[in-house]
Amino acid sequence: MKRTITHLADGRELIYFDRRDDADRGAVDRRELGPRPVASELRYDPLTEEWVAIAGHRQTRTFQPTGTAAECPLCPSSGDRLTEIPASDYDVVVFENRFPSFSGNFATYEDVGGLSAVRPGAGRCEVVCFTPDHDSSFSRLSDDGVELVMEAWADRTAELSGIEGVEQVFCFENRGSEIGITLAHPHGQIYAYPYVTPRTRLQLGAAARHQGPGNLFADVLAAERAAGTRVVAANEHWTAFVPAAARWPFEVHVYPHRQVPDLPALTEAERAAFAPLYTSVLRAFDGLFGVVMPYISAWHQAPVREGRELAYLHLELFSVRRAPGKLKYLAGSESAMGAFVNDVLPEEAARMLRSQLDH
């Protein structure tokens, strides 16, 4: 793999990840860009003990251009059509988000009164372009294409974990208009948070209180593998299963068989084994109803400093689609109370997904 660092016209960092050592990455960003926005501010909610990022500049971010490659800012540049990627082709590209939720470009943050503390939204947000093919998808990547994306995820996790003030690194993909994507090109994002996220705190707290024979995550994986009824796919290094208490109509968790804290800790063999299993699950999602399945794919990694001995790297994949023409909306119970009601029996969801793998 070749890793090349360059910069965009406004100073943002861009990194090419190439399969070939002779890839030419000398293309220059010829656009005229305005100044970069200042970092968001974090406001503390004393009732939930959570930080909320207030990022008003994100209201102006690019929102659902025509959907064609001609309007896409994530396709390679060509002639006078200049995009976020100056090169005329690429394998995998990572660059700083032009409209970040977190950054190091601080301003002045004033007291807002009440009981809410305020501090800068320190951190970093990056965009990961999986392929130059605008009409492709993660599920259609080759195995070595997935491995290259994993190399990029691991590289960025290690790099961003070293930024002062960063407490957790989150790699994820949003897919589909139903999820709320603003760009259709196959891509994901990476958030380097200045705090440990609420979901991670809950899981690590549960792991610390666990009274089972081993690590909580490892025991969940062992129990699901033993039960078998919710296992969707497995190989030597990974198991994909629908959790017994799934919140979403179609939800699959993918665990390595070895407890590791984060993506950089995976071996070469583990990364290679992930690719065919994961893309087969994604294709099973798309095959369920004969329509493109919207989804969120979320890597759960250990925080940078705390709870690393309790954490267990895993991926959570879920969709809001519950039937061909029906979506799962987060209405009163879920949005107001955080109390989920799932319309699909997890065992039935697993059976439906397994049936697609047989095709």
Q: In a structure prediction context, what are the per-residue pLDDT tens digits for the chain, which is 359 residues long?
A: 999 999 999 999 999 999 999 999 999 999 999 999 888 899 999 999 999 999 877 766 665 565 567 789 999 999 999 999 999 999 999 999 999 999 988 887 888 888 999 999 999 999 999 999 999 999 999 999 999 999 999 999 999 999 999 999 999 999 999 998 989 999 999 999 999 999 999 999 999 999 989 999 999 999 999 999 999 999 999 999 999 999 999 999 999 999 999 999 999 999 999 999 999 999 999 999 998 999 999 999 999 999 999 999 999 999 999 999 999 999 999 999 999 999 999 999 999 999 999 67
pLDDT at 182: 86
CA distance 76 to 53: 31
Q: What does residue 256 show for φ and ψ, rounded to 5 degrees?
A: -75, 155
Instruction: Tell me, rounded to whole angstroms, the distance of Cα 310 from its chain centroid.
Output: 21
Place of tokens 């804290």: 261
Q: What are phi and psi of 181, to 5 degrees?
A: -65, 150
d(CA 227, CA 121): 44
pLDDT for the residue 67: 59
Q: Which candidate, 128, 122, 123, places its Cα nearest to that of 84?
A: 128
- Given the residues 185, 187, 237, 253, select the one marked as catalytic: 187
Rg (CA), the chain: 21
- Please state the pTM of the whole predicted model: 0.95
pLDDT value, residue 103: 94
Q: How many Å apart are CA 321 and CA 199, to the nearest integer? A: 22
**328, 320 contact by CB (below 8 A):** yes
Q: Distance between CA 192 and CA 126 in Å, rounded? A: 9
CA distance 172 to 164: 22
Active site residue 210: no
Q: Residue 61: what pLDDT?
A: 60
Which pLDDT belongs to residue 62? 62
d(CA 276, CA 141): 10
Q: Let me know the angle formed at the C-alpha of 189 by 258 and 144, rounded to the nearest 5 degrees.
A: 55
Q: How many CB atoms lie within 10 A of CB 266?
A: 20
- State the alpha helices, DSSP H only, in the chain: 143-161, 198-209, 216-227, 268-287, 337, 346-357
- The tokens of 295 are what? 């989804």
End-to-end CA distance of the chain: 34
The encoded tokens of residue 319 equal 């969709």
Q: What are the two backbone dihedrals, phi and then psi, of residue 250, each rounded to the nearest 5 degrees?
A: -130, 110
